[in-house]
């Protein structure tokens, strides 16, 4: 198949959607498909375009994939209007790019507005390709849960999201809980919805000397290390972690919270943490150090702001599961994240927005070696059974094949309908030669 994938995030970005989009494109290429990716310039999670990417367009072949980068606006700091401008600027460039007459176009959402623009162009294309939307975040639910929009603007966003996903030939969602929302709230027929779980894209690493690894990171052997990785944004609500570290200072507890990554809230968090000794901020690590840090930590942390319930599945979870290190999830007990922790058996859930509860949960887990080992092993098993890369890529490839087959069948039926109509006109004695000539014109 000739496959075009459109999305604003791609390698070398290492967090969020980019690793999955990159894995899918490269895996499909390895399986013999011709794959083109139309994407943006690397900017996430720093919200600043990587200085090594210059010009307005870059076209290159990377690991067998034809990658077409189009420069776009990046808001810094990001806000609702800035994100709209970014999506529109990327969407305009993506929609005007050459698509190499694909059999199918797969759009990733986010970005919703760019997806809408691409779908509009695709529908005007002669012999239009099949169209699929790969939903990683639920936009309408997300703007409400993060407080980005309320009232009329939030309702308008949900209506746009519904119109976009319903106009596609099919959609794939990354979690079973998303199905109920897109069927019941966005009114997509259930038969057009496929679940393709996000997979583990970080291979585990064997660390021969954990003590030496901890020393290299500056971690004391007698303190509990709680590691959070990835984006530092509004959704993560990491003020909770700063306050937990402050409590640990006040109580002189042997624990250290380590926040690895970047994001638009990092400056605010660093300012809030001035004078707090038991918290460290670390810039994004390279692949080897990232995997080593997860293996060497005592606890891995997922933290979500109060109000975040069902809009997304944290991408860090698949990496966490593979590490063999137990997880503490500070989240709403009814959230998708909490469901995923319970399903995996890889960690414990504590209420978000409760620094004392987070501190207690982390210390209790780190102090129970038997439970920690059991939870870590459960995460590794979950990787193999539920979020394995090969199984997820297989399912995504089949979803794409089904999109193409469904579109071909639709085109065939349309052609048959036109043929039958022409035959009817030719055989209808009421149709005059003049009428037929007019029809021909």
Q: How far apart are CA 240 and CA 355, in angstroms?
A: 5
Residues 213-249 have pLDDT tens digits of: 999 999 999 999 999 999 999 999 999 999 999 999 9
Q: Cβ distance 335 to 355 under 8 Å? A: no
User: What percent of the chain clears pLDDT 90, i.e. is strictly above it?
Assistant: 78
Given a cut of 60, is residue 69 above it in pLDDT? Answer: yes
Q: What are phi and psi of 130, to 5 degrees?
A: -65, 150
Go through the chain and tell me how many residues it has.
441
pLDDT of residue 98: 79
Residues 102-116 have pLDDT tens digits of: 999 999 999 999 999
Cα angle 379-381-386, degrees, rounded to a multiple of 5? 90
Cα angle 342-345-347, degrees, rounded to a multiple of 5? 85
Q: How far apart are CA 7 and CA 155, in angstroms?
A: 24
For the residues 263-291, what does the mean pLDDT come to? Answer: 96
DSSP label of 63 = T
Residues 319-367 have pLDDT tens digits of: 999 999 999 999 999 999 999 999 999 999 999 999 999 999 999 999 9
DSSP H helical ranges for 260-388:
266-272, 287-296, 316-323, 336-344, 355-366, 369-385
SS3 231: strand
Q: What are phi and psi of 382, to 5 degrees?
A: -65, -35
Q: How far apart are CA 131 and CA 118, in angstroms?
A: 10
SS3 157: helix
Q: Cβ distance 192 to 169 under 8 Å? A: yes
Residues 367-403 have pLDDT tens digits of: 999 999 999 999 999 998 999 999 999 999 999 999 9
Please report how many Cα atoms fall inside a 13 Å half-sphere around the Cα of residue 397, on the Cβ side: 20
Please report how many Cα atoms fall inside a 13 Å half-sphere around the Cα of residue 369, on the Cβ side: 0
Q: How far apart are CA 43 and CA 8, in angstroms?
A: 9
pLDDT of residue 441: 38
Kindly write down the DSSP assignment for every residue of 55-79, as one continuous string.
SSEEEEEETTEEEEEE-----SS--
pLDDT of residue 99: 77
For the residues 256-278, what does the mean pLDDT come to? Answer: 96
Residues 53-65 have pLDDT tens digits of: 999 999 999 999 9
Structure pTM? 0.87
pLDDT of residue 420: 46
Give burial (CB, 10 Å; 0-12/13-18/19+) of 171: buried
Q: Cβ distance 302 to 326 under 8 Å? A: no
Q: How far apart are CA 15 and CA 54, in angstroms?
A: 22
Q: How far apart are CA 156 and CA 162, in angstroms?
A: 10
Q: How far apart are CA 146 and CA 138, in angstroms?
A: 12
Cα angle 216-219-222, degrees, rounded to a multiple of 5? 130
User: What percent of the chain clears pLDDT 70, i.e. is strictly above it?
Assistant: 93
Please report how many Cα atoms fall inside a 13 Å half-sphere around the Cα of residue 332, on the Cβ side: 16
Mean pLDDT over the full length of the chain: 91
CB within 8 A of 127, min separation 6: which ones?
A: 101, 411
Nearest to 263, CA basis, from 281, 276, 242, 290: 281
């Amino acid at each position: 198949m000739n496959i075009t994938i459109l999305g604003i995030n791609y390698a070398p970005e290492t967090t969020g959607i980019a690793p999955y989009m990159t894995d899918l494109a490269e895996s499909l290429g390895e399986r013999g498909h011709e794959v083109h990716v139309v994407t943006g310039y690397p900017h996430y999670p720093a919200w600043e375009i990587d200085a090594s990417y210059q010009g307005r367009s870059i076209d290159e072949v990377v690991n067998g994939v034809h990658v077409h980068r189009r420069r776009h606006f990046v808001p810094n700091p990001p806000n609702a209007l800035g994100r709209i401008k970014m999506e529109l600027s990327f969407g305009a460039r993506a929609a005007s790019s050459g698509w190499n007459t694909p059999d199918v176009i797969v759009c990733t959402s986010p970005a919703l507005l760019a997806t809408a623009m691409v779908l509009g162009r695709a529908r005007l294309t002669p012999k239009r390709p099949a169209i699929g939307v790969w939903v990683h975040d639920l936009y309408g639910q997300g703007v409400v849960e993060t407080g980005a929009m309320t009232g009329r603007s939030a309702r308008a966003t949900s209506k746009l999201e519904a119109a976009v996903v319903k106009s596609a030939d099919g959609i794939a969602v990354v979690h079973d809980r998303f199905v109920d929302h897109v069927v019941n709230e966005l009114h997509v027929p259930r038969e057009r919805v496929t679940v393709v779980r996000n997979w583990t894209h970080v291979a585990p690493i064997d660390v021969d000397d954990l003590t030496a690894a901890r020393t290299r990171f500056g971690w004391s052997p007698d303190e509990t290390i709680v590691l959070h990785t990835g984006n530092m944004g509004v959704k993560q609500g990491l003020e909770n972690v700063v306050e937990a570290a402050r409590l640990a200072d006040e109580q002189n507890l042997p624990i250290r919270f380590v926040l690895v990554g970047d994001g638009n809230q990092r400056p605010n968090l660093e300012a809030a943490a001035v004078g707090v000794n038991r918290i460290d901020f670390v810039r994004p690590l390279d692949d080897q150090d990232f995997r080593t840090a997860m293996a060497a930590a005592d606890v891995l942390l997922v933290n979500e702001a109060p109000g975040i319930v069902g809009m997304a599945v944290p991408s860090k979870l698949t990496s966490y599961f593979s590490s063999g290190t137990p997880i503490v999830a500070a989240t709403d007990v009814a959230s998708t994240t909490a469901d995923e922790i319970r399903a995996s058996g890889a960690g414990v859930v504590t209420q978000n927005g409760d620094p004392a509860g987070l501190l207690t949960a982390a210390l209790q887990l780190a102090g129970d070696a038997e439970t920690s080992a059991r939870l870590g092993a459960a995460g590794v098993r979950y990787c193999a059974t539920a979020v394995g890369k090969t199984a997820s890529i297989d399912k995504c490839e089949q979803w794409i094949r089904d999109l193409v087959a469904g579109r071909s069948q639709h085109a065939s039926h349309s052609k048959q309908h036109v043929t039958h109509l022409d035959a009817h006109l030719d055989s209808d004695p009421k149709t005059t030669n003049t009428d037929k000539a007019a029809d021909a014109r």
